């Protein structure tokens, strides 16, 4: 039985993740981590049934002492995720991180820490299998069509831009294409930001609107042709099989993996 703790259990993703772990055979939700005292168990929160007798902690070290989780799933926000991940590794709890917004320096430090402690960790900017395929197909297409722009579209409560998936897609494309400045060499923005963010000469555009969940298009342009690779997460259930897969996989690993595409 894999013992799981979840940080961010009251959030949109967290609520779904709690139900997923509670229903999944071979997993036990032993605790949740919050930063506010919201009640002693999940049963005290309106969003969960009374049968969810899972303790809520505000102190992670105490949570680990009392409930000994194997895995911490983090679905919080870019401000707290780095500390949670680091603390989990230091306390020998394997992190499965869905929260986006790490800097390259933070990723490097956590990778080194996991390797030194020989503890598995997964940081997955996107848990949806379709989004992983979109990134893989985009990397393949960029070998032949190196002019590419990314449009990522999310709900307007999202805190970081570009999205972790948008950034990861650009990184994967950059592995196979020569850095290349796109558009006209002397183009000039008459309104700042009009051409989007720049990654190795590739442009990333972030759309934030109510009604959206998580969507991305990768547009390739060639002579007389266009290719668009598009993925849409229509609800948060699209991420749940990826979360279960990561929980089951991370306990077999001894290092940090960034991106689900590296393990499926």
Q: What residues act catalytically? A: 154, 158
* Residue 19 binds to ligand NAP (criterion: CB under 6 A): no
Q: What is the closest distance, in whole angstroms, from the C-beta atom of residue 145 to ligand NAP in the complex?
A: 27
Question: In terms of CB distance, is 82 or 220 closer to ligand NAP?
Answer: 82
* Residue 77 binds to ligand NAP (criterion: CB under 6 A): yes
Interface residue with ligand NAP, options 52, 67, 93, 98 (CB under 6 A): 98
Backbone angles phi, psi at 117, to 5 degrees: -90, -5
* Residue 231 binds to ligand NAP (criterion: CB under 6 A): no
- Would you call 129 exposed, middle or buried from its count of C-beta atoms within 10 A (0-12, 13-18, 19+)? middle
* Residue 56 binds to ligand NAP (criterion: CB under 6 A): no
Residue span binding ligand NAP (CB under 6 A) among the ranges 73-81, 106-114, 135-143, 220-228: 73-81
* Residue 10 binds to ligand NAP (criterion: CB under 6 A): yes
Q: What is the closest distance, in whole angstroms, from the C-beta atom of residue 110 to ligand NAP in the complex?
A: 16
- Provide the 3-class DSSP secondary structure of residue 76: coil
Contact 20, 52 (CB under 8 A): no
CA dist 143 and 172 (Å) reads 11
Comparing every residue's Cβ against ligand NAP, the nearest one is: 11
Question: In terms of CB distance, is 28 or 80 closer to ligand NAP?
Answer: 80
Cβ-Cβ contacts under 8 Å for 232 (sequence gap 6 or more): 130, 213, 214, 215
Query: Of the candidates 126, 158, 111, which has an alpha carbon nearest to the alpha carbon of residue 232?
Result: 126
Interface residue with ligand NAP, options 2, 4, 5, 13 (CB under 6 A): 13
* Residue 216 binds to ligand NAP (criterion: CB under 6 A): no
* Residue 87 binds to ligand NAP (criterion: CB under 6 A): no
CA dist 173 and 175 (Å) reads 5
* Residue 239 binds to ligand NAP (criterion: CB under 6 A): yes
- Contact pattern for ligand NAP over residues 139 through 168, marking x by CB under 6 A: -------------------x----------
Q: What is the closest distance, in whole angstroms, from the C-beta atom of residue 167 to ligand NAP in the complex?
A: 12
Query: Of the candidates 29, 106, 108, 43, which has an alpha carbon nearest to the alpha carbon of residue 73?
Result: 29
Interface residue with ligand NAP, options 28, 41, 68, 80 (CB under 6 A): 80
Contact 246, 23 (CB under 8 A): no
Query: Of the candidates 247, 262, 259, which has an alpha carbon nearest to the alpha carbon of residue 166?
Result: 259
* Residue 171 binds to ligand NAP (criterion: CB under 6 A): no
Pairing of strands 225-233, 214-222: antiparallel
Q: Considering just the CA atoms, what is the radius of gyration of the chain in Å?
A: 20
Which residues contact ligand NAP (rule: CB under 6 A)? 7-8, 10-14, 33-35, 75-77, 80, 98-100, 124-127, 158, 214, 239
């Amino acid at each position: 039985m894999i013992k799981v703790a979840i940080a961010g259990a009251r959030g949109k993703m967290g609520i779904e993740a709690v139900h997923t772990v509670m229903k999944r055979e071979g997993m036990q939700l032993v605790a949740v981590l919050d930063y506010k005292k919201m009640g002693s168990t999940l049963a005290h929160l309106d969003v969960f049934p009374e049968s969810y007798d899972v303790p809520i902690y505000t102190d992670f070290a105490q949570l680990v002492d009392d409930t000994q989780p194997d895995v911490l799933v983090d679905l919080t926000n870019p401000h707290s995720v780095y500390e949670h991940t680091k603390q989990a590794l230091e306390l020998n709890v394997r992190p499965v991180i869905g929260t986006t917004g790490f800097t390259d320096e933070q990723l490097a430090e956590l990778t080194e820490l996991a390797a030194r402690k020989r503890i598995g960790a997964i940081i997955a900017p996107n848990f949806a299998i379709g989004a992983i395929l979109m990134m893989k197909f985009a990397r393949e297409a960029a070998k032949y069509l190196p002019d590419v722009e990314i449009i990522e579209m999310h709900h307007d409560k999202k805190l970081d831009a570009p999205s972790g998936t948008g950034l990861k897609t650009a990184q994967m494309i950059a592995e196979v294409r020569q850095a290349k400045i796109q558009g006209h060499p002397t183009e000039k923005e008459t309104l700042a930001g009009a051409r989007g963010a720049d990654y190795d000469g590739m442009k990333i555009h972030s759309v934030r609107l109510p009604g959206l969940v998580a969507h991305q298009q990768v547009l390739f342009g060639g002579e007389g042709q266009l290719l668009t690779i598009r993925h849409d997460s229509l609800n948060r259930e699209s991420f749940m099989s990826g979360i279960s897969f990561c929980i089951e996989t991370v306990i077999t690993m001894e290092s940090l993996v960034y991106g689900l595409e590296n393990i499926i």
